Amino acid sequence: MSTKVVSATHWSTASDGSTTGTSPMELSALGEHLDLCKGSRGHLFALHCVMEATSCFVASRFVTTLLVIALLIGAASLML
C-alpha cells in the first residue's frame, strides 16, 4: 500500500539554530495570502466591522443594555 504525501508551502517561524530569513517560496506564499485577504474585502466590509464591534460591546454589557433599553421605552411611553 502506498500513501501519497502532499507537499504544501507552509510558514515556519523556527530558525533551528541558523540565521533567520525567508525563502522565495515563503515570500510567494505570503504574497498569495495577502492577495486573498485583500480580495475578501467587499463593499460591505466596513459595515461588517462596525456591526461586529457593536455586537461585542453589547454582548459584554448585556444587562446594562437591557436596562437602558427599558428606560428609553419607559421614557418614550411617558412622553406620549
Q: What is the pLDDT of residues 20-58, one digit of tens each?
A: 677 888 888 888 888 887 777 777 888 888 888 888 887
CA 51 to chain centre: 13
Share of the chain above pLDDT 90, in %: 15
CA 56 to chain centre: 13
The string over 39-65, giving b where at least 16 C-beta atoms fall within 10 Å of a residue's C-beta and e elsewhere, is eeeeeeeeeeeeeeeeeeeeeeeeeee
Task: Note the pTM of the prediction, 2 decimals.
Answer: 0.35
Q: Which residue has the cell 467587499?
A: 42
